[in-house]
Structure 1
Amino acid sequence: MTNFHRATYWSSIIKSPKQDFLASIVVFLVALPLCMGIAIASGVPVAAGLITGIVGGLVVGWFAGAPLQVSGPAAGLTVIVYQVVNEHGLLALGAVVLIAGTLQLIAGALRLGRWFRAVSPAVIHGMLAGVGVLIVSSQFHVMLDDSPKQIGLANLASIPAAAYGALVERNAAAGIGVMAIACLMAWKTLAKGRFALVPAPLIAIVVAAVMAGTMGLPVARVQMPDSLSSAIHLPSLELLQSVPLNVLLQAGVLIAIVASAETLLCAAAVEKMKPEVKTDYDRELVAQGIGNIVCGALGALPMTGVIVRSSANVESGGQTRSSAILHGAWLLVFVVALGSMVRLIPTAGLAAILVYTGFKLINVQEIKRLKSYGWSEVGVYAATLCTIIATDLLTGVIVGIALSVAKLLIRFSHLNALIVHGEGDYCLLHLSGAATFLRLPVLASSLDRISPGEEVHVDFEQLDHIDHACMDLLMSFAQRHEQTGGTLIIDWGTLHAQVHGISESTKVDSESDKHLRRRIAA
């Protein structure tokens, strides 16, 4: 970093404009209930989620390559964390997150940030939808003050019976959950003017706490330790005696991959919202690695860049990284000074927020958008989604990536060559797909069916790719065809390519191609 950039960096921190201060308050109010809710969904104490939110602001905010992105515990990692904690205990979580952070730090140092974005959108959105279904199915039971099952399919299958039982028994927790969801859905419509800056999750939590307190409802409430330091669980070497190292490594790699992909996709979305604030993806990955190393050392939840808090930051007028840093400071102040207030919050209210968040992850509009690129994209999305629900997140992501690669290989091994004859000695060779050496026989067979002396127009408009082997075949055919009195005309403009060494007899003429198509159509 040059002296000029270093001075600019520190001046942006020190100035802390009014917009950043106000934005940090809004982000803090959005982050507070989400940090607690995600912790409950992950099967860990609420304090673990709050610690991650604090680290996301006070640590990651300083180093972030995406200045306006806000980091903290994310709903997309709840399934992985819940499985680790459920199978190996809370102490194992710190080691797994520490491994994930180290891998992210190394990946960022090796400048691999942009490569984490090279995952098919169908896989990413299928993963988010699968996580959304699992969150809804598990947190629905928590919203009823019930314990979720260990398997996603079992949670889904038991929802109707649980809902019927809550209705018959007039479950108080269910009433609080329904009220919280109603607040989430209605607040954006009802809130006007400055009230629109107040986040809906905060309103839902306040309503749930007031409702439970004033009516004296017998519902479960959030457990909060007297001191934040008592929630810190440092990893130890003794952990390796109870949990195999390969298990910890596998979970760490999975969290690193999912967290990095989600973070960098979020960073790209934030950059589109405010294009004048540029993103350094490698630096952002390093910052996330540092944050997760700290969270792992403290035994807290893993973190990612999160779109809900980041968009709230941008929409509230955040200008520099100060807003993200300050939101972490407000979280720390709240936990230290007002931590006892957390114990007034009913668990059902936080679970309701997660149920609502899970539904939003299952974005039906995304299916319509993927369909515009072909049914194969929808197939990859559906396969990823269903596999995650039926098995686990890692298997679902692997299946999605494998299908995406298979689709790409099939596409680049597929070539259609159609010959359409027009008036006189005119014909059109229409190529679509990918002309690679794998499909060289198909192209050669089509060229062999062209009669001597014809004026041949080659249409590249729907051709995705042509390699050197097929190009050589076309050039050789052009030379032979010229000797029979024929001509080969190629419209290179439709392929947006330049090929050197074309003989003079091989003409480049897009206007004649258009004229030929009109004649054939007639």
Structure 2
Amino acid sequence: MKNTQNAKAFMAALPQNIFAGFVVSLIALPLGFGLAIASGAPPMSGVIAAIVGGTLAAILGGSNVTITGPGNGLVVVVLSAITVLGAGDMYTGYLYTLAAIVISGIIMIILGFLRLGSLGDFFPSSAIQGMLAAIGIGIFAKQIHVMFGNLNEKGSIVQLLVRVPETIVNFFQTNDTSFFYAGMVGVVSLLIMVFYSKIRNKYFQLIPAPMWIVVLSVGMYYYYEYLASSPYPIHSDILIKLPDNVFSSFAFPNFDKWHEFEFINAVVAITLIASIESLLSIKAVDKLDPLKRRSNVNKDIRALGFATVVSGLLGGLNVVTVIARSSVNVNNKGSNRSANFFHATFLVLFILLFASELRKIPLPALAAILVYTGYKLAAPSNLKKVFNIGKEQLVIFLITLITTITTNLITGILIGIFSTFLIHIIINKNLSLFLRNVLKPNVLMFTEDGKYYVSVKNFSSFLNYTKLKSKLNQIPESKEAIVDFSLCDFVDHSVMENMNNYAETFKRKGGHFEVIGLDGYKTGSSHPFALRKNSLDNEVTTKKSSALTKRQKSLHTISEELGWTYKTHPQEVTEIPSFGYFKTRQINQVSNILSNDKCTLFDVQFSEGELFAQQIVKATMLYIRLDNIPEFTLDREGIFEYIYHFAGFNDIEITAHPDFSKRFYLSGKDENAIKAFFTDELILFFESNNYYHIEGSEKGLLIIGKERLAGVREIKGLADFGIRLKHCLQSTAVSTVQ
């Protein structure tokens, strides 16, 4: 029955997936050519990767709306491999690189079977951003020369950037008509990429910007062919070169250098970048899925690896998941993997039916697409975003960026990882925090009343994030989850960013995901993704050193709804020590205080035990100021975590309410006063509401939910319980007086 329903749903969505695949193919065709040429490979190698990837990933993949093909991130790596392995002979280097691509695909298959897709989480976010920016600068540095018609410029990324002004000056001063027209095509193509999104005509928007470039470029050729009196001004050397029979000219890999260092280095670099680019894209595309599905990352990595092997054997580039084309797929109502398959199908049709027209596209037109892509990866706005998260993140970003540009991608990302770790040590001034705890289990997960509670201790960073992720992935996203970092001394930017991703995923699927325990932690900025460092002192934390967390902002909203005041910073509450609960506990700090004239709801940090047995505990409590309250302790029968026996305390039986006596543990010294206090109305109130640990003293009542920090929903419940309890006691007092 279920298979029949799935088949009907698939057929119903088929037309929109065909259309989405068609639109994506309009972008994939020029990009496939452009990425291949930028990589130093034949133009068809990029299209082969898109066709093979779209077909095999659609059949074997574990994602739903992703599009696969050649990726931006591999341009610099593949170009370097072809150049180094070929020792100047680009075609020979291309054949050696195909062998590296095949082996890279095999490694990805192995990684998928070993379920190592989570290794992508080991790379710090800012280091990855720096690496991607370096890739963007590399693409920009090479392709901007091609965009202005200069196909022969070679050198390192830095050398190419330095020569950009010279290329621009030569473009405007040239007397070579072919060179000038080719550059003009590149400039106009770049303008199309830049201003395309600003043109709001719905008919114009039906064709993606890269395909407009193809259409206009080919149209220009036919204009000079049939209408203009002068010949086509662009030399044939500057046009894209496709074989006469595109499907009979496959290239095959050469494995002769498999044992050499340069070859092994190329394999490692290709595998690393292909895996990172795919994992990041899969994660990003899952957020776009309107059906709120989560991809099977390991299955997808296996599929991408297999597609890469086949692509490499046929002369194609690596197959990776690509975010831009996947976004276009989602925006055009692509709903399952068939859209990826149809995108590959349309590419085959374009090559078969329009090969002669495609040969008329000037290389500067394709280069303009990549110049725009490179700029987007390394845009100054990205620098500003990283800086807003924290100055230390900007340092990591720049170190990775500069190292990658001046050396290579592997060295860049390794230096980025090391610099991140070093900066974390400097911020915490504590190397042992990481060395002592990096291999220890630091995540505990349990359920409470249908809610999932996850407690993290010591530290949480890119070094051990996979431990936390493995627990969170076990929680159904339609449920409620609370992640408590109150026992952590340090939480890094990568973890904070991932917590936000989980919160968005749970929200989309109807669940609730909340992070607690970070209130009052020192941060470098007010950004929600900023790293957090625990402050062990009791000094009032300024806004400059600590940003309000999402939980604190929610508490402020709750205080406004209740008409209470709210104070975030540590305060001194003198009434608390009078309760028996704190006779053997040392209060260190009270913060996040919501209060009115009678009620105070707060977070408290206290210590239990002494010396090596000392333990720090954080919990959320409610204090109600009342007079003439006898000393007592009320808790659920059989639960002794919060019960502290005072001398002579016994379980007091309320004869008129035997069910209450069975369900609750009630103790205190003055049994008569306690029985008088527990009126029929008050007993009915306790029987009809959630269980809380309650203590009475001459100054009022102390109400505790769990011996931990409460989530926002739990705080609302605790406040509501306290307000209604206070009203119940007041009405009881009025009735007694009357």
On whether the aligned pair clears a TM of 0.5, the verdict is yes
- Determine if the alignment matches structure 1 residue 202 to structure 2 residue 199: no
1:350-370 CA distances to partner (integer Å, 9 max, x unpaired)?
011111111111143333333
Corresponding position: 1:361 with 2:377? yes
Residue 270, structure 1, aligned to residue 389, structure 2: no
Matched, 1:165 2:170: yes
Partner of 1:52: 49
Code of the aligned partner of 2:588: V
CA contact (8 A) 1:491 1:510 kept: no
The alignment partner of 2:154 has SS state of coil
The alpha-carbon deviation at position 80 of structure 1 amounts to 0.5
C-alpha separation in 2, matches of 1:489 and 1:64: 47
After TM superposition, the score normalised by the length of structure 2 is 0.57
Decide whether the 8 Å contact of 1:70 with 1:324 is kept in 2: yes
Q: Structure 1: which 5+ residue stretches go unaligned?
A: 422-429, 433-452, 463-470, 481-487, 495-499, 512-522
Equivalents in 2 of 1:108, 1:460: separation in Å?
Answer: 48
Distance in 2 (alpha carbons) for counterparts of 1:211 and 1:64:
40
Task: Identify the match of residue 475 of structure 1 among 603, 606, 609.
Answer: 609
Separation of aligned partners in 1, 2:98 and 2:5? 36
| Residue 458 (structure 1) aligned to one of 581, 588, 606 | 588
How big is the shift at 1:501? 8.9
**Is the 8 Å Cα contact of residues 66 and 267 (structure 1) preserved in structure 2?**
yes
After TM superposition, the structure 1 = structure 2 runs for residues 72-151 of structure 1, keeping only pairs within 5 Å, are 72-88=69-85, 89-146=93-150, 147-151=152-156
Pick from 394, 405, 410: which aligns with 2:421? 405
Aligned residues: 456
- Which one has the bigger helix percentage? 1
Q: What is residue 354 of structure 2 aligned with on the other side?
A: 338
Q: Does 1:257 align with 2:272?
A: yes
Deviation for aligned residue 1:15: 5.7
Larger radius of gyration: 2
**Partners in 1 of 2:643 and 2:613 — Cα distance?**
8
Match of 2:242 in 1: 224
Runs of 4+ aligned residues of structure 1 deviating over 6 Å after TM superposition are 7-12, 471-474, 500-505, 507-511
- Distance in structure 2 (CA, Å) of the matches to 1:420 and 1:412: 18
396, 399, 402: which is aligned to 1:383? Answer: 399
Residue number in structure 2 paired with 1:39: 36
- Structure 1: how far apart are the matches of 2:368 and 2:219? 15
8 A Cα contact 1:16 1:322, kept in partner: no
Give the direction of change, closer, same or farther, for the CA distance of 1:9–1:110 in structure 2 (3 Å limit).
farther
Provide the residue aligned with 1:315 in structure 2. 331
Structure whose residues are more often strand by fraction: 2
User: What RMSD, in angstroms, separates the aligned Cα atoms of the two structures?
Assistant: 3.4
State the alpha-carbon separation in 1 of the partners of residues 264 and 7 from structure 2: 37
Could you tell me which of 410, 418, 437 is aligned with 2:537? 418
Deviations 1:108-127, CA, capped at 9 Å, x for gaps: 11111122233222112111
Letter in 1 for 2:409: L
Give the percent of matched residue pairs that are identical in Structure 1 and Structure 2.
Answer: 28
* Post-superposition offset of 1:153: 0.8
- Distance (whole Å) between structure 2 residues aligned to residue 269 and residue 189 of structure 1: 24
Q: Could you tell me whether the CA contact under 8 Å between 1:79 and 1:134 is conserved in 2?
A: yes
Residue 308 (structure 1) shift: 1.0
Instruction: Using structure 1 for the length normalisation, give the TM-score.
Output: 0.79
Does the CA contact (< 8 Å) of 1:139 and 1:148 recur in 2?
A: no
Counterpart position of 2:670? none
**In 1, are the aligned partners of 2:587 and 2:607 still within 8 Å (CA)?**
no
Closer/same/farther in 2, CA of residues 474 and 381 from structure 1, 3 Å limit: farther
Q: 1:215-245 CA deviation, whole Å, 9 max, x = no partner?
A: 51224100000122344222244x23xx644
Secondary structure (helix, strand or coil) at the match of 2:234 reads: coil
Shift of 1:143: 1.5
CA apart distance, 1:164: 0.5
Task: Give ranges in structure 2 of 5+ residues lacking alignment.
Answer: 86-92, 225-231, 431-533, 548-582, 593-604, 622-639, 646-694, 696-701, 706-738
Corresponding residue SS for 1:458: strand
Distance 1:461 1:279 in 2: 41
CA spacing shift, 1:249–1:208, aligned 2, 3 Å: same
Once the two structures are TM-superposed, the CA of residue 503 in structure 1 deviates from its matched residue by: 11
Structure with more contact order per residue of length (Cα contacts < 8 Å, sep ≥ 6): 1
In structure 2, what residue type is equivalent to 1:407?
Answer: I
Structure 1 CA distance for aligned equivalents of residues 234 and 53 of structure 2:
35
**1:418-447 deviation line (CA, Å, top 9, x unaligned):** 3559xxxxxxxx999xxxxxxxxxxxxxxx
Q: Is the 8 A contact 2:45 2:317 kept in 1?
A: yes
